[in-house]
Structure 1
Amino acid sequence: MTGRETSSDSLGPVGAQASTQAIHSIVWHYRLPPGSKLNARLCHPAGCTPLPTPSGITHALAGLAADVGLEFRFSLPEGQRPVTVSGLQVIVNHQ
């Protein structure tokens, strides 16, 4: 399983507010069991950005369409046993 990537379901916008908007920033959060490590990315259909910690804020996808679904993508680092990821949350700030 090391190196193999798994994806969350697409996390789409709620309502039509974002239909003509662009991403300004994204706040993310996910939970891991204590001591676990995971390689994580947040992906837009136009590209992905690495997530260095289980929570934070990024402007890496700024300017991309805000009306599409995003997904988390995870892979295990060498030697890490499989883990359960929970509490997936994405907040897209758009303008």
Structure 2
Amino acid sequence: MIEELNQKISQLIDNDLDKERALALLKKMKQDPVLQAKLSRYETIGHAIKSDVFLSVDSDFAARVNQAIQKESVYFLPKRKSLFTPYLRLSALAAS
């Protein structure tokens, strides 16, 4: 069944799926985020193949990004005091 769905998604992108099947597939996809993500991946792959424009990245690209994130400093800023204490808030409310 999964292979059949994959085939239907591919046919949908290629505009080779008849109207009724396309509508049924879109209804399924509307309720399933996994199928939505798969459609997005298929569209990206199809675009790269059809346009011959793609970016080549090194095989360790994700690992280098992860390392750079791990090296980033983490700042814990002190919590600011509220300018309005509960007493001032009540006074402002009463005054208005």
Tell me the TM-score normalised to structure 2 length. Answer: 0.17
The one of the two structures with greater contact order (alpha-carbon pairs below 8 A, sep at least 6) is: 1
Between structures 1 and 2, the one with greater strand share:
1
Tell me the TM-score normalised to structure 1 length. Answer: 0.17
Between structures 1 and 2, the one with greater helix share:
2
